[in-house]
Amino acid sequence: MSLLGQKFYRLLYDWYDINHRILPWRETNDPYYIWLSEVILQQTRVAQGIDYYDRFVRTYPTVDMLAAADEDEVLRLWQGLGYYSRARNLHRAARMICSAASPFPTTFDELRALPGVGDYTAGAIASFAYDQPYPALDGNVYRVLARLFDCEIPFDTSAGKKHFHRLAEELLDREHPRLFNSAIMEFGALHCLPVSPDCAACPIQQYCKAYASGTVDLLPVRKPRPTLRDRWFSYTIYIYSSQEPKAFGVPTTNRQWGDGSQEPRVYTLLHQRKEKDIWQHLYEFPLVEHATEAEWLSFQPVARHPVAERPIAQRPITHILSHQRLHARFFVVPVDELPVIPDTLTVAWEALDDYALSRLTLKALESVFR
Ligand code: SF4
């Protein structure tokens, strides 16, 4: 017997039938494609995710092709999505799947054992691909459940997760888990919105305890956020042109100075982050990290062969990660000769796209060179 009865399902499914979006991963039961979409959509908006999903499906139409790719190539394709550990885990998991004797995992426990796959993703793949009765609790579903049951327990604590998981299991339509999970997720994404949900036109309003008690705007409850650690970064973008005149501004491509030849004539330096820190293995411009804001504000890069009299400092960029707030300045320094800096590589400007760049570096390139 379901927690809220058959009529609840009917109302929810009728709403879904009329309102759901056409999304490519909903048009397939292929567990590989569903897994790809779920990993891409973690921390990513659907509009942005579609683009990346299409790119991955086109580049790696099968899990074997993803497994056979180089990690660098996968990271490059992921570039711009952030949270690169997702891409690394995706790639590792593809290799595990292909090295196993059996085909793509078919049970919740097998799926849950893959790197980067938690309860949510395993439940989503098991229900969407195989129609197995597992709940899939994403942020939208937590919100709908918190409101339906007027539940004040913070959903992002371990006690909260257990509580909501139990509720979701009790509410699940065991005869139609694929449809139920799709419908409740979409209902949270499109109707029961975080701010100003349209309760007046809500098809399941009669079941909503938060609506009855006037607590809709207070739910769901989260645990208090950790304070962010501030970090102070100065990047230097060295620009070397092998062609006269050297006193140029900022390149957009080599062709700006070229005569049509494909020979790269503008070079810069990149550094790969190797330390156990943010953006491990990704590339960025040479960096100096400062201990204090005052040090950061007074920093000027020293260039041995500057072409311009002084570096061009761009407006600082603030970049927020889950536990850190990064304050970054980018100095553009045209030089006569690239300096020798340990652990950097000389890279042709046009080849920057071939490197997996950190999201902050991409942001800077967009704002500095657009
Ligand atoms: S009544 Fe409002 S809060 Fe409750 S489920 Fe409907 S839209 Fe969400």
**Ligand 1 atom index nearest CA of 198:** 7
Q: Is 246 exposed, middle or buried (0-12, 13-18, 19+ CB in 10 A)?
A: middle
pTM attached to this predicted model:
0.73
Q: Output the CA 147–ligand 1 centroid distance in Å.
A: 7
The C-alpha atoms of residue 119 and residue 97 are separated, in whole angstroms, by 18
Residue whose CA is at the smallest distance from ligand 1 atom 2: 199
Mutate to test the pocket of ligand 1, among 192, 217, 219 (most ligand atoms within 8 A of CB): 192
Q: Output the CA 219–ligand 1 centroid distance in Å.
A: 11
The helix-helix angle for 177-190 and 119-130 (nearest 10°) equals 120
Fold classification of 229-369 (topology level): Nucleoside Triphosphate Pyrophosphohydrolase (3.90.79)
Give the 3-state secondary structure of residue 265.
coil
Mutate to test the pocket of ligand 1, among 12, 186, 204 (most ligand atoms within 8 A of CB): 204
Residues that are catalytic: 38
Residue whose CA is at the smallest distance from ligand 1 atom 8: 192
**Ligand 1 atom index nearest CA of 208:** 4
Q: Output the CA 204–ligand 1 centroid distance in Å.
A: 7
Residue whose CA is at the smallest distance from ligand 1 atom 4: 208
- CA-wise closest residue to 40 among 69, 97, 82, 8: 82
The C-alpha atoms of residue 333 and residue 336 are separated, in whole angstroms, by 10
Mutate to test the pocket of ligand 1, among 193, 216, 219 (most ligand atoms within 8 A of CB): 216
- Which residues form ligand 1's pocket by a CB distance below 6 Å? 144, 147-148, 191-192, 197, 199, 202, 204-205, 208, 210-211, 216
Instruction: Return the pLDDT at 212.
Output: 97
Q: Output the CA 226–ligand 1 centroid distance in Å.
A: 29
Domain ranges for the chain: 6-218, 229-369
Q: Output the CA 154–ligand 1 centroid distance in Å.
A: 18
Instruction: Return the pLDDT at 294.
Output: 94
Instruction: Give pLDDT tens digits along the chain (370 positions).
Output: 567 889 999 999 999 999 999 999 999 999 999 999 999 998 888 999 999 999 999 999 999 999 999 999 999 999 888 878 899 999 999 999 999 877 899 999 999 999 999 999 999 999 999 999 999 999 999 999 999 999 999 999 999 999 999 999 999 999 999 999 999 999 999 999 999 999 999 999 999 999 999 999 999 999 988 899 999 999 999 988 876 555 444 454 444 444 455 555 789 999 999 888 999 889 999 999 999 999 999 998 876 767 767 787 778 999 999 899 999 999 988 888 888 898 999 999 888 888 989 989 988 888 777 6
**Ligand 1 atom index nearest CA of 219:** 3
Looking at domain 6-218, its CATH superfamily turns out to be: Hypothetical protein; domain 2 (1.10.340.30)
Cross-strand bridge partners of residue 320:
325
User: Cα angle vertex 185, ends 21, 97, to 5°?
Assistant: 95
Q: Output the CA 15–ligand 1 centroid distance in Å.
A: 13
